[in-house]
A and B are shown apart, each in its own frame.
Chain A
C-alpha cells in the first residue's frame, strides 16, 4: 500500500499561472480533503469530498477548485495563482469520516508551492 501520494512535491509558479495538484489514495477511503498549512496558522481546510463525484467548500476555498471524478483521486486546481497561495498543501483521506472512533485521517507528504 502506498497510502496517500501527492504530485508534484515542489512547484514554483508565476503570478497568474495555473496548475493542478493530484492526490491519490489506495485505501478505498470515502472521504478526501485538501488543506493548506502556513506558518503559525495550522492546517486550514480548502475543500473536501465525501465520495466520488461530490465536493464541498471548507474554511478557505477562494481561488481553488477541486474535482473527484474517481474515488481514489482528488484534484486541487489553481486557475490563476497568487502570491498569497504560497503554502504547503496537504491531502488527506479517511474511511469512514474522521469523526468516528478509531478513524483517523491519513496524510500525503505535502506539496510545497511558491508563487512569485
Chain B
C-alpha cells in the first residue's frame, strides 16, 4: 500500500518563494508526480521525479529523496496565478497513481 502526506494549506506573498512538502511510504517506488489544479479546473502535470535530486523547470523545481521518502515542490517569484492546489501522486501497483489530498496554496499581494 501507499501513504502520502501533504500539508492542507499554505499561504505566501507575491514575489516570495514557497516550498510544498510531500512525504510518502510505499512498498515499491515508481517515481513521483506533482500536479497543479486551479479551482474548478482539471489537474495539469507539473513534474515527474524518479531519481534523487533537484529538477528545475523555470520558476518551479521539484526535489526527491527516495531514502527519506520525501519530495518537495519549490515555487519561486510567486505570482497571484500560482494560487492553486498542488497534488503529489505516486504510481503503485500496475503503475496506477495514488494521489495525496493536495496542498491549497494561497498567494496574497
Q: Pick the residue among A40, A90, A101, A108 that contacts B31 (CB under 8 A).
A: A101
Contact check, B98 vs A45: say whether CB atoms are below 8 A apart: yes
> Is A77 located at the chain interface by the 8 A CB criterion?
no
Contact check, A97 vs B101: say whether CB atoms are below 8 A apart: no
Bound-state CA distance A108–B89 (Å) is 17
Bound-state CA distance A33–B43 (Å) is 13
Chain A contacts to B: CB under 8 angstroms = 33, 35, 40-45, 48, 50, 56, 58-59, 90, 97-102, 104-110
Contact check, B87 vs A105: say whether CB atoms are below 8 A apart: no
Bound-state CA distance A109–B44 (Å) is 11
Give the size range of B's interface with the partner: 20 to 34
* Residues in A neighbouring B50, C-beta threshold 8 A: 101
Given A50-B94, A98-B33, A101-B50, CB of A43 within 8 Å of CB of B99: yes
Contact check, A48 vs B96: say whether CB atoms are below 8 A apart: yes
The 6 closest A-B pairs by CB, nearest first: A99-B95, A99-B91, A97-B95, A107-B42, A42-B101, A104-B45
Bound-state CA distance A45–B89 (Å) is 12
**Could you jot down 5 A-B contacts, CB within 8 Å?**
A97-B94, A102-B48, A106-B45, A108-B42, A110-B42
